[in-house]
Every structure is written in structure tokens, then in C-alpha cells.
Amino acid sequence: MGLFDSLRSVLGMSAEADATRDADPEDLFGMSTAYMTMEADLGYDHVGAAALCFSSVDSTDFADTVDEVEAILHAGSEETGTTFELYEDSHGWEWVVLEDDDPEDLVTSVHFAADEFIEQGYGSRLLAAVFGFEKDGQRAYWIYSFRRGAYYPFAPERGKEQNEQVLHKLESVLDGELGLEPDKEYWYPMWSDRTGGHPWE
């Protein structure tokens, strides 16, 4: 199994036996307080962006669902000013990337998009929601796995390595505030296509 096949398996395409519980888009609102904890307790600023990753289906109905997601985000942007972009990366994953200076708006927009996929019967196509942070040049992310219904941290460094110290710190501070994935086998990294980029880049 290749690297990206493994990631698809872990995040959303594996057997039902891998799921600990049904993903609940309401879990995403936990990130609203986590943003404050990341800043107040750990000194991390949010990067002004978040993203929803999903796997597409070649069908008119699914295309209509994506159109509905866009319509919802367009309507929301008029009130919040949140901008968004949909695109397919080099591995064939689809992304909804949102940008806003207000982290509350980012959480709400990601929730709206995810909820629409679920309402239209495509919750199984959702892979992950990704929320980015930065401190002194060190990037850190919280990833919500829709397959596992849980969050886990991601702390990339150059050379496709992770900062284990940062991972441990994020886990110890946010455990109890976010529903964390207990099995670290499923703390799967989402590397960027480019050096120094976000997972959605």
C-alpha cells in the first residue's frame, strides 16, 4: 500500500471496523475554544485559514452537493467576510480552503460545509478538517478525522518529520478540551505538496 493509499485508508476510506463512532460535525465547534487555549496557554496564533478535505464521487448528484456547499459558503461570506476556494490537489483529493481573520468564522464555515455533505448523504466522503496555527515559525495543526470522529495534532518540520515535543505539548494541554484520538496509529500526518506549505497547499 502506498503512502497516500494509507492516508486515504486512515482518514476515510477504510473498513467500517476502523470507525470508533460516527463523526459529528458538532465536534468541530470544539475548535472555537481550542483557538483561545492555543493562544493563551501555548502562544500560538491562528494562520487565518482552515480547510475541509474530501474525496469526490463521479456523479451528477455529488456535483450538485458540491454546488450546494459553494452556495452556502457564498451566502455566509456576505455576513462574515470568509473567503473560500475549492480545488483538487495533486493526489486527487478535493479541498475547501477558507480564509478569515476571525477563527470563529472559520469554524462556523467548516461546519456548514461539512454538515451539508452529511445532510446530502455524503458524510462518508469527508476525510478531514484541518485548522492551522503558528508560533515563532513553527507550524502546528489540529486535524479532525471524520472516519474516527476525533482530533489529533500534527507538527510538521522539514524533511517530512514531526516535532515530537510539540505533539506532546499539544496533546497534554488540549486533552479534555478536544475529543482526542486515543490510538496514535491514527495520528496520520498530512504533508503539503510544497516545502513549508500548509497541508491544503
Instruction: Annotate 110-153 with DSSP letters as a single string.
Output: HHHHHHHHHHTT-GGGEEEEEEEEEETTEEEEEEEETTTTEEEE
Residue 137 lies in a domain: yes
Q: Give the pLDDT score at 79.
A: 84
Question: Which CATH number goes with the domain that contains 61?
Answer: 3.30.70.1130
Average pLDDT over residues 66-72: 94
Mean pLDDT estimate for the chain: 87
Look at residue 196 and tell me whether its pLDDT is greater than 90. Answer: no
Percent of the chain with pLDDT over 90: 64
- Residue 89 structural domain: 3-15+24-186
In a domain, 141, yes or no: yes
Asked whether the predicted pLDDT for residue 117 surpasses 90, the reply is yes
Task: Flag whether pLDDT at 16 surpasses 50.
Answer: no
**Least confident among 113-117, 166-170, 191-195:** 191-195
Lowest mean pLDDT among 22-26, 165-169, 188-192: 22-26
Question: Domain for residue 196, yes or no?
Answer: no
User: Looking at the predicted structure, is the pLDDT value of residue 54 above 90?
Assistant: yes
In a domain, residue 54? The reply is yes
The tally of domains found in the chain comes to: 1
Q: How many angstroms separate the CA atoms of 127 and 140, rounded?
A: 19
Q: What is the Cα–Cα distance from 46 to 48, expressed in whole angstroms?
A: 6
Q: Does residue 2 carry a pLDDT above 80?
A: no
Q: How confident is the model at residue 5 (pLDDT cuts 50, 70, 90)?
A: very low
39, pLDDT greater than 60: yes
Q: Is residue 192 part of a domain?
A: no
The burial class, CB within 10 Å (0-12 / 13-18 / 19+), for 74 is exposed
Does residue 191 form part of some domain? no
Percent of the chain whose predicted confidence (pLDDT) is above 70: 88
Q: What is the pLDDT of residue 11?
A: 53
pTM above 0.75, yes or no: yes
- Average pLDDT value for residue range 167-174: 96
The pLDDT, as a whole number, for residue 6 is 46
Whether residue 42 is contained in a domain is answered as yes
Please answer whether residues 131 and 31 qualify as being in contact, where contact means their C-beta atoms are separated by less than 8 angstroms. yes
- Is residue 63 one of the residues assigned to a domain? yes
**Residue appearing with cell numbers 451539508:** 116
